[in-house]
Amino acid sequence: MDIIGQFPLFYFPEYGSAWMMGITGTIHILFSHTSVGAAMLFAFLAHKAYKENRSDYYPYMKKYGMFLLIFSYVLGSITGPGIWNTATAASPRGISALIHNFVWVWATEWVFFIYEVIGVFVLVYFIDRIDRKTHLKLTYTFALASVGTLALIIGIISFMMWPGTQAFYATGSASDAFFGINTFPHMFLRIGFMIMMSGVIGLVISSSMRKENEELSNELSRKMGYISIIGGFITMFFFVWYMGTLPENAHAVFAFSKDAIIQNRIILTMVFIAYFAIAIIKPKLINPVIASVMIGVILISGLWSGEKLRESMRKPYVAGQYIYSNQIISRDVPGKNIKSELPIIAEKGLLHLNPFVPARLKTITDENKREAGELLAKMACSNCHSLEKTGVFRPLKDRLTGMDKEGIKSILYVIGEGGMSYMPTLKLPETEYDAIAEYFASLHY
């Protein structure tokens, strides 16, 4: 019996299922990056407070820590496994590939997480209960543990884009998969963003302290402004380097919206330089409302669009450039004894090979053609495109507008021959092409 290891399909109407991961992922990035950045900031402030005997910094650190507990350690720690869960529902084989390559890396990250979670409670709740030297040492270890979590996850998310070199395919080694040419630029790009975020959040706290101690509030707001500018500069510098380490297919997708993206980034940079400059020059002008709005601006204009771009640039793959977004293994990985599934799919078809296709749809007939076509469309296309006439997320209605069955089929043939670098080279038997085209044509986009 010929079977490929595909799982049942989960499809969220109008949107598809990938957006769920996108939303959870974007929220998580905001919180997790802030938490690592704040850990570094705590170490810096605790160092200054101890060396310069600035006891007035401690209430700020405590206030920041309490905010962080909710902001990062409630929302961040839930959305972390949350990405995993939602990504699993949307792309089970993609996540499985990551798990089976990097389980020990993730397990190592878990050790750091435990230190971080217990550490943050000790750090925040005992700030007034332990001596400052011990507190300082604690902040150093907390910062190192936080950076450790980044050091461990970065290789995995870099691998999602691509392994960075060809070595992994031959050896199957987790080290070769983890340390690609994009890993370190990606890491420092995120460290820059984390530093910037620690300043951006720090401005909410420092500006909220104005009534209690205006002088300290202004001093800390200025510091946060400098920290944010330094973080922003590191982000920009490594972003350029990171882009240079990405594969051709990523650049092909990037080219579609390059001008708009660059324009968006220039505007964002100008807005934030102005914001940080105000924090430095006129800290009085920053208040908690403005500071909170700026977090929202980063979330929507920076992170959401950035993560959408990163996901798009990975296309047609979901992990390691050997698994397509539609859960099909697209190339051999000799180092892991993995075989491409494309030849057998081209020969026998998805309906025949997917073990969760009910018996009555295994063979396409005139009676079930449209139903089979719908199922095939969901299996082959819905991870990236919403299918309905009212679809929202990368909707096919915008791509196949006014096309008849033969027109749609000709596009499917081009995709099957690898004619579009950002689409999976998915060749199907004629009957399956026909069923998909019939289904799409029936929707009259």
Shortest Å distance, C-beta 366 to another protein: 17
Where is 285: in which H helix or E strand?
A: none
Shortest Å distance, C-beta 384 to another protein: 16
Q: CA 5: distance to chain centroid?
A: 25
* Number of CB atoms found within 10 A of residue 403's CB: 17
Contact 339, 332 (CB under 8 A): yes
Shortest Å distance, C-beta 149 to another protein: 11
Cα–Cα distance measured from residue 286 to residue 225, given in angstroms and rounded to the nearest whole number? 11
Contact 17, 10 (CB under 8 A): yes
Where is 247: in which H helix or E strand?
A: none
Report the residue number, 145 or 229, with the smaller CB distance to another protein.
145
Shortest Å distance, C-beta 423 to another protein: 22
Cα–Cα distance measured from residue 58 to residue 129, given in angstroms and rounded to the nearest whole number? 12
Cα–Cα distance measured from residue 262 to residue 171, given in angstroms and rounded to the nearest whole number? 38
Shortest Å distance, C-beta 208 to another protein: 16
The single-letter DSSP state of residue 420 is S
Contact 413, 425 (CB under 8 A): no
Cα–Cα distance measured from residue 165 to residue 248, given in angstroms and rounded to the nearest whole number? 13
Report the residue number, 70 or 277, with the smaller CB distance to another protein.
70
Shortest Å distance, C-beta 132 to another protein: 9
Report the residue number, 224 or 396, with the smaller CB distance to another protein.
396
Q: Does residue 225 sit in helix, strand or coil?
A: helix
Report the residue number, 195 or 376, with the smaller CB distance to another protein.
376
Q: Which residue, 314, 307, 309, is CA-closest to 330?
A: 314
Q: What are the DSSP calls for 211-224, one per residue?
A: TT-HHHHHHHHHHH
Here the tokens at position 114 are 């435990």
Here the tokens at position 207 are 């500006």
Report the residue number, 187 or 224, with the smaller CB distance to another protein.
187
Shortest Å distance, C-beta 328 to another protein: 12
Cα–Cα distance measured from residue 19 to residue 393, given in angstroms and rounded to the nearest whole number? 8
Shortest Å distance, C-beta 180 to another protein: 8
Report the residue number, 142 or 275, with the smaller CB distance to another protein.
142
Report the residue number, 134 or 263, with the smaller CB distance to another protein.
134
Report the residue number, 126 or 226, with the smaller CB distance to another protein.
126
Report the residue number, 128 or 259, with the smaller CB distance to another protein.
128
Shortest Å distance, C-beta 144 to another protein: 4
Cα–Cα distance measured from residue 399 to residue 415, given in angstroms and rounded to the nearest whole number? 13
